[in-house]
Every structure is written in C-alpha cells, then in structure tokens.
Structure 1
Amino acid sequence: MLPTLTTLQQRKPYLYSLDWLCPQCNSAPEDLNHLWTCPYILPELNPCSTHRSEVVKFRDSCLSSFLSLKPLDSNFQVAFSALDCWNYETPSSSCLWLTRGLLPAHLTNFLKQYFPLSVIYKTISPLLNDFQIELYGEIWLCRNVLFHAWEESQGISAASKLRGPSSNPPSTAISSHIHNSSLASVSQDSWISWISSSIIR
C-alpha cells in the first residue's frame, strides 16, 4: 500500500497527527482516492488533470488494441467507452479500482462477450501496467517531492521516522500552526523553484 498520509497516520500516530489533512490542499484526508483527485494545482503538477488524461489514454489504448484483434462494429466502441470504469469526472469507484491496478468485473464481463478471457488478460495486462507506471511517474513521484518538503516543515525527519513512539513527542504537542500548514498556503513560485532545484541536483 502506498504510504499516503492516512496510512502514515495509522502506522505512526505519534508523528502524524490524526487531524492533519492532505498536505497539498488541506481540504480532505490524503488517502488513495484523494491522491489521484487532489485539487491543489501547480503548473504541470496537477494530479487531477493528469489522472484524467492518463485514464483517457489507457481507455483509448485498450480500445485500439481490442479493435486490432478482430473487426467490431461501432456499437462495441460506444459501449466500451461508456463503461463506468472510464468515468474519471467524479471519479467512479471502478475508475479508482483501475487506478489501483484492479480490473473491474463489469469491464471483463463486457469484453467476454467478444473475446476469451485469456485474450482479454493478455491484451489488457501490459496496458494496465503502462497505465500504472505513468500514474506513478506523473503523480506519485511528484507528490513525494512535495510531501517530503512538507514533512520537513512539520519537523518530521528521517531519523524521527526510525525512532519509536517513546522517542518522539506526541503529535498533540505540535503547535496548531504546524497542524494547519499545507502546501496550498505556500506561494507557487517558491515551490516551483524548490522543485526545479531538487530535480537538477
């Protein structure tokens, strides 16, 4: 499981206060679903629009691959594109399953009307893997750069993560100013500069 803030809050509540919200937007708990849809926007680092474009790219790649296997009428294309797993607007729960690397049953059930299950998996597995790699590179790695900077601003160091609860002050002792700190309150120019210098190093 990716160590989102909610996961870290469960694992190390003595370091990560349970009332902290997403470090980027400070408007919702940072869980796996929020990770892909966080509204905090930095130029070129918008997870919401990146997620949407990657879902569309994945859907279109799947459609092209299945259409290349045998001739299918336009009804297939329309029905395939209308499946709930491609609904990235909200996003739907089945879209979030895809994001996590899980194939929704309605997707495979739909495809089984046209292809054997072995062909479905053989076709979709490499595309799903590519989708996961793109999301990891475009969203998760960028989030980690920002998250580590946020951790430092909270006084959470690599050494404090290695120590147990007895070595750390309880999170309730941390000032309320730090509790409410988020990347959304920092000017975008300073973060862009910081990210650029971090990448160049």
Structure 2
Amino acid sequence: MLPTLTTLQRRKPHLYNLSWLCPQCNSFPETLDHLWTCPYILPEFSPLNTFKTLLLALRSNYLDKFLSVSSLIPLPDSFADEFVALDCWNCDPLSFSCLRLARGLIPISLTEFLGTYFSSFTIWSILDTPLHDFHFDLYVQIWLCRSIFFHHWELAQGITKIMKLSALEPSSILHPSSNIPPDISTPSLATVSLDSWVSWVSSSIIRGGSWISHLDFWRRLTVQPLLRISFW
C-alpha cells in the first residue's frame, strides 16, 4: 500500500499527528482514494483534474480497441454510447468503480458489458496493457509530484529520515533543527534557490502563511523543476 498520510499516521502516530489532513489541500484525510482526487488549491495542478484526464484517455483507448477487433456478435449502433455510460467512467461525481480502476481492479460492470460481445481472451488482452500504462501515468503525474512535495512538507514539520527509520519516540531522538539559528530554519523567499521554493512555501504555510501569497510560485511550478529536487 502506498504510504499516504493516513497510512503513516497508523504506522507512526508519534511522528504524524492524527489530526493532520492532506498536506496539499488541508481539507480531507489523505487516504489512497483522496490521493488521486485531491482538489488542491489551483485547478491546473489538481490531482483530481489529472486523474479525470487520464481516466477519460483510458476510456477512449479502450473504446477504439474494442471497436477495431472481431466480436462474437455484431456490435449494435448503441455500443459506443453504452460503453461510455458505464459507471466506471463516471467522473462527476467520481464513482466507486472509477476509484477501483486506480487500484488496478476491473469493475464487474465493465467485464459483464464486454462479455456480451467479446471472448474472455479478447477482453483481457485489451484491458491489460492500457491499464498498466494508466497506473504508470498516475504514478508519474500524481504520486511522484506529491511525494516530492510531501518530503519537503515533512521537513517543515521537523520529521527527518533518521526519525522515520527509528522505532523510538521523537523525544528520544535529537531534533536536527535544535541547533539551527531561526533565520536559517525559516528562510525567506529572497534567500532561497528555485529548487528550495517547495521547502520554503511549505514551512511558511505551517507557520501561518496563506496559500494565496504563493499562487505565483504554484503557477510557475511544473513537473520538470520538481524532478530536479533530490531526496535527502
């Protein structure tokens, strides 16, 4: 299971406060389902919109493939409309079946519908590879970016790699920032590099700053600069 915040809260409640919500939207617990559908602060960076885009691309991919292969019986003119109307593609609001696809589970409604027209071999041979690609895209476009942000968010909370690897309570571990002067542990925008902006924004917000004051940062943020940030 992916180490979402709710998972970490169960594993190490002494490090991850049980009252903490999703670091990206601060509105809901960061469960596995919420991870892919977080509303976030800006629509262009929203995991929810990314998830919808990838899901609808998967639907189009599947539909094109099934329309191009031999079927057990002639496909009716309504086939495409009925396929698109299946609940597993329902994004507004997100359906239970839709979220199961993100976990690699094929909805029964999809296989039952396809089973009327195609053999089991044809169905599974078509479903397999696009679903794998869908999960890879979710990893790259949502999980990887979230993990980089989460890493800096943890540092803003004072949670270090040593603390995460230790089975001891935090009081038994030397806090890494205990000897760091205030002006270094809480940097200003003028003194940080581009690759440190994520850390600055997260720590500033934790200290009471507003998301609104950082909109320009998020508008200029793309996957490429995120990928340059290393994990220490």
Please state which band the TM-score falls in when normalised by the shorter chain.
0.7 to 0.9
- Looking at structure 1, the residues matched to 41 and 77 of structure 2 have their Cα atoms a distance apart, in angstroms, of 37
Answering whether residue 158 of structure 2 is matched by residue 130 of structure 1, we say no
Q: Which residue of 1 aligns with 2:32?
A: 32
The gaps in structure 1 that reach 5 residues or longer are 171-177
* Contact kept? 1:45, 1:139, Cα under 8 Å: no
Q: Which residue of 2 aligns with 1:102?
A: 105
- 2:120 maps to a residue whose letter is L
Q: Tell me the SS of whatever aligns to 1:106.
A: helix
- Looking at structure 1, the residues matched to 2 and 52 of structure 2 have their Cα atoms a distance apart, in angstroms, of 20
Answering whether residue 159 of structure 2 is matched by residue 159 of structure 1, we say no
Counting matched residue pairs gives 192
- Looking at structure 2, the residues matched to 37 and 184 of structure 1 have their Cα atoms a distance apart, in angstroms, of 22
- Looking at structure 1, the residues matched to 145 and 77 of structure 2 have their Cα atoms a distance apart, in angstroms, of 39
**Which structure's CA Rg is the greater one?**
2
TM-score (norm 1): 0.86
Give the Å deviation of 1:43: 6.8
- 1:189 maps to a residue whose letter is D
Give the Å deviation of 1:90: 1.9
Q: Which residue of 2 aligns with 1:199?
A: 227
Instruction: Using CA pairs under 8 Å that are at least 6 residues apart, name the structure with larger relative contact order, 1 or 2.
Output: 1
Q: Which residue of 1 aligns with 2:68?
A: 68
Question: CA separation of 1:197/1:66 partners in 2, compared to 1, >3 Å: closer, same or farther?
Answer: closer
Give the Å deviation of 1:42: 4.4
Question: CA separation of 1:196/1:110 partners in 2, compared to 1, >3 Å: closer, same or farther?
Answer: closer
**What CA RMSD, in Å, does the superposition of the two structures yield over aligned residues?**
2.5
Question: CA separation of 1:190/1:87 partners in 2, compared to 1, >3 Å: closer, same or farther?
Answer: same
Give the Å deviation of 1:39: 1.1
TM-score (norm 2): 0.75
